[in-house]
A = this chain, B = another copy of it.
C-alpha cells in the first residue's frame, strides 16, 4: 500500500479544519515548541519507510517512554511484576490519588504516572547505572545511538513535579516504593525527557509489531507472549482517560505523550509515529488522534 499518498490526502483534509488544542505549558521547554509542527513516519516490519512533514525533527516523547521502561522491567521481573502494578484502565483522571489510596498503593496500570513511578523504582533497584543502562537499552531497540535524555527538560520537570512527588510519597507510605524517593524521581524525570524524531520513535516501537523481535538486529527483545501483553496494555491504558475513545476511533494499540507525540502499532504490519504539539482536553495530541482515525479508516485495517 502506498502510505505516502494516504498521508498527503489526510493532511490536506485536516488542514481544512482548525487545530484547536493547546500546547502543554507546565514547563517552558514544552511551551516554546512551534504549535504548527506536524510529522508522521511509518515503518513496516519489512523495514519499508513512509513519512510526511516534520518527521525528522526531535521532540520530547514524554510519557511514551513509559512503555519502554515497562518493557525492560517486564523482561526482568516477569509476571511477578503484576504484584506491584495492575493492568486495568484508570477511569477518570481526577481520582488518581483516590484510587491509589483505595488500592493501598498499587497503581491501576504501568502507563499512568503512579505506575511508571513503580516501574522506575524497579529499574532503579536492579540496573547498575540506571540512567545509563536504560538509555543504552532504548538505543539498542531503536538501532540508533544518538537517542538521549534532555537534561534541561528533566530539570524543569523536577522543579514543578510536586504532584509526582505526592504520588510517590503516598506509594512509599504503603510500602510500594523500595528505593530512595529522590533517586526514583530523578530517574523518572529523565525517562520522560527522552527526545526522538517521528522516524526514531516509529523504529523504536517496531519490535512490538514484530512479536517482540527487534527487526534491526533480529534479536528478541521480549517473548511473543510478553510483547502481545504490552500491546494489550497500550490498548486499554495508553491514552489516560481517552483510552476507550482511541480504541473506538483508531483501533490500534498505542501511547501518547504531552509533547504531542503518539506511537501506534498494527501487529505483523507496521509501527507509526505522529507528532503535533496541540493537545486536546484529555492531554493527547488533537491532530495526531484525528490523523490516525482517518488513517485506519482510509486503510480499512485495524485490530478489530
Residues of A within 8 A of B (CB): 86-92, 94-95, 97-99, 101-102, 108-109, 162-163, 165-167, 169-170, 172-173, 224-225, 228-229, 231-233, 235-237, 241-245, 247-249, 251, 253, 267, 297, 300, 302-304
Contacts and interface: CB of A to CB of B under 8 A. Distances in A.
Contact of A170 (B92, B99, B166): B166
A229 B88 CA distance: 20
Contact of A101 (B97, B243, B267, B300): B97
Given A94-B102, A170-B162, A245-B87, A251 B232 contact: yes
A43 B95 CA distance: 42
Nearest to A247: B232
A151 B18 CA distance: 54
Given A90-B91, A302-B228, A162 B166 contact: no
Nearest to A303: B303
A244 B109 contact: yes
A300 B249 CA distance: 26
A87 to B, nearest CB: 4
A121 to B, nearest CB: 13
20 contacts: A87-B244, A87-B245, A87-B248, A88-B91, A90-B91, A91-B92, A91-B95, A94-B102, A95-B95, A97-B166, A98-B98, A109-B244, A163-B173, A165-B165, A166-B170, A229-B248, A232-B251, A233-B248, A235-B304, A237-B244
B236 A243 contact: yes
Contact of A172 (B162, B173, B241): B162
Oligomer: number of copies: 4
A83 B51 CA distance: 36
A235 B233 CA distance: 11
Given A97-B166, A233-B247, A237-B244, 15 more contacts: A88-B243, A88-B244, A91-B91, A91-B99, A91-B108, A92-B102, A95-B95, A97-B97, A97-B98, A166-B173, A229-B249, A229-B304, A232-B251, A236-B243, A253-B304
Given A166-B169, A170-B163, A228-B251, A88 B241 contact: yes
Nearest to A173: B162
A237 B244 CA distance: 8
Contact of A169 (B90, B162, B247, B302): B162
Contact of A97 (B90, B170, B172): B170
Contacts of A242: 88
A89 B87 contact: no
A221 to B, nearest CB: 15
